[in-house]
Amino acid sequence: MTGPVASGLRAAPGWRETRRRVTDRAFRAALLLAFLAAVAPLLLVLGYTVYRGASHLSAAFLTHSMAGVPPSSAGGGIYHAIVGTVEMVLLSSLISVPVGLLAALYLTEFGRGWLPRSIRFFVDVMTGIPSIVAGLFVYAFLVLGLHRGYSGFAGALALAVLQLPVVIRASEDMLNLVPDALREASYALGIPQWRTVLSVVLPTSAAGLTTGVMLAVARVTGETAPLLLTSFDNTFINNNPFSGPQSALSVFIYNSAQQAYAPAVDRAWAAALTLIVLVIALYAGARILARRSALRQR
């Protein structure tokens, strides 16, 4: 066959290949633009926080409290808020992590029937609960109902309510990644189920479980609303979370940013940068552990 018809047939495959390339490049460009649109606000927030807060960070700022320093004066620091944040997050982890791991073990290894489905449903509901609701619950139950007053322990309970569903969900996902062949091999040797869980399932998923716990810790480190109702605030260093109000980095940032004085606002930016660095460090640690867990499974 010769002539224009044959020439058109020979050109058709090349035209289709060109169209595929153009479509591929268009979609690549659209994906890149979507990525930049999603990352740009984050980069702007990080960049502006570093710009405003880095110049006010110092050793004195990290090792002194705001005791006796009025909002209109320079000086002072966030040591009292760092102490409060660390103690409340540790207490909330001591409460939520064991309960969350046991609940995840029940859901993956022992739970059958309607009860596990109900637990998963309530865990999903708890995941979507606004943080202020957790603070109101602890405020009504512990601060007012039991007349315990504001304390770091009350703040830790509110954070534990928010942390618990994250621990359960993350731990359940990690436990489900353990191959059933390992469990079956253990049962074939006559090892009971509880011993299999302790000796096979938990060691195999240890890195993934640690990652889930760290993600849950990072999730609650920057919470503000529940702490305003439970731990309140304190410009002095309070090392006892079970007695008296206690400050936290998020609460310090919230209260300082509302002041009409430049020194207080500068301290808020420096504290925000410190909190961001802390959360990034936790997330980075979680990613490193997750990568190690994936390499071990390979």
Better-scored residue on pLDDT, 218 or 90: 90
Residue 102 maps to a domain = yes
Residue 98 maps to a domain = yes
Residue 16 maps to a domain = no
pLDDT tens per residue, range 148-159? 999 999 999 999
Task: Report the predicted TM-score, pTM, of the whole model to 2 decimal places.
Answer: 0.84
Domain count along the chain: 1
Q: Out of 69-73, 75-79, 210-214, 219-223, pick the least confident.
A: 210-214
The whole domain housing 178 covers: 60-297
Residue 178 maps to a domain = yes
pLDDT tens per residue, range 150-195? 999 999 999 999 999 999 998 998 898 888 898 888 888 888 888 8
Contact between 80 and 62 under an 8 Å Cβ cutoff? The reply is no
pLDDT tens per residue, range 193-206? 888 888 888 888 88
Residue 283: the pLDDT is 80
Residue 61: the pLDDT is 93
Residue 20 maps to a domain = no
Q: What is the CATH number of the domain that holds 176?
A: 1.10.3720.10
- Residue 251: pLDDT band (50, 70, 90) is very high
Residue 11 maps to a domain = no
Residue 86 maps to a domain = yes
Average pLDDT, the chain: 87
Residue 223 maps to a domain = yes
